[in-house]
Structure 1
């Protein structure tokens, strides 16, 4: 597979996870998305799709970290984590 194919498959499994959460009536948050992708990865039998789930999890986590850097803090469960950069 090419890098383009890997990214495309990652986007596909990310979309599948979002659709699954939507159809189940669950809230669509970065945390619920990560949880759904983890469940998909565990139940996946094909190695390349399992890797795509892992890549999607990394993408969502990276997005959370970027958001944290940009806005100064983000919520994990009921706790807020604060980064060293604050916005005034």
Structure 2
């Protein structure tokens, strides 16, 4: 199947975001990916790329399970990084 120009651009901006995370040594995860994409919207000047970034954010958010806990909701809302899971129960 042939992908549209906008679908290819979404793939490109997702790749750019992943490369940004790898370059900075960040863990790769959906919540962090959304954060990187949101930060990209603040500096993007090209209207087509900005639209693709927004589409990418919506695609990644759609893959997340429903946000049930307030902690996860806060992470998404405030573009924060989740704390590492050290396996300890509090």
Query: Is structure 2 residue 9 aligned with structure 1 residue 9?
Result: yes
Query: Is structure 2 residue 72 aligned with structure 1 residue 59?
Result: no
4+ residue runs of structure 1 moved beyond 4 angstroms?
none
What's the TM-score, normalizing by structure 1?
Answer: 0.71
Q: CA deviation at 1:48?
A: 0.6
Could you tell me which residue of structure 2 aligns to residue 20 of structure 1? 20
Q: CA deviation at 1:42?
A: 1.1
Describe the SS at the equivalent of 2:4.
helix
**What's the RMSD between the two structures over aligned residues?**
2.0
Describe the SS at the equivalent of 1:48.
helix
What's the TM-score, normalizing by structure 2?
Answer: 0.69
Equivalent pairs counted in the alignment come to: 70
* Contact 1:42/1:50 (<8 A) preserved: no
- Structure 1: tracts of 5 or more residues without a match: 79-88
Deviations along 1:45-65, whole A, 9 cap, x unmatched?
A: 011101110000000001114
Could you tell me which residue of structure 2 aligns to residue 38 of structure 1? 38
The answer to which structure, 1 or 2, has the higher relative contact order (CA under 8 A, 6+ apart) is 2
Higher normalized strand content (fraction of residues): 1
Describe the SS at the equivalent of 2:64.
helix
